[in-house]
Amino acid sequence: SQQGEEDPQALSIQEGENATMNCSYKTSINNLQWYRQNSGRGLVHLILIRSNEREKHSGRLRVTLDTSKKSSSLLITASRAADTASYFCAASGGSNYKLTFGKGTLLTVNP
């Protein structure tokens, strides 16, 4: 079964607004990674947060991790039309090499 589950499945916002996507996972993890995918092709690595970290920033991205709730969130601030893509969380668990992906959130940023 899927380790990560994103919520919502689809999100449509206006440029300049913030976008928040959530991810839940089932078992313990070593780290959790967020990816972006445009047009169903290659995945772009956005950010990795380790299990002992609670928050991480990268540019306009902010990721939080709550291991007690087995959940993570990705916040994109001041969104741009170019942020339109699918966003996936991927959990790295006990084996630590295998990523288990959620089904993704399709983000549409309207100009």
Complex with other proteins: residue 54 or 98, whichever CB lies closer: 98
Complex with other proteins: residue 74 or 110, whichever CB lies closer: 74
Reply yes or no: is the peptide bond before residue 8 cis, omega within 30 of 0: yes
102 interacts with other proteins by CB under 8 A: yes
For the bound state, the minimum distance from the C-beta of residue 93 to other proteins, rounded and expressed in Å, comes to 11
Q: Give the total of residues touching other proteins (CB under 8 A).
A: 26
60 interacts with other proteins by CB under 8 A: no
24 interacts with other proteins by CB under 8 A: no
Residue 81 vs residues 13, 73, 101, 109, 111: alpha-carbon distances, Å? 10, 21, 25, 5, 6
34 interacts with other proteins by CB under 8 A: no
Beta-carbon contacts of 65 under 8 Å, excluding residues fewer than 6 positions away, are 32, 49, 51, 53, 54, 55, 71, 72
Q: Which of 18, 29, 109 is nearest to 62 (CA)?
A: 18
Complex with other proteins: residue 72 or 104, whichever CB lies closer: 104
Complex with other proteins: residue 16 or 98, whichever CB lies closer: 98
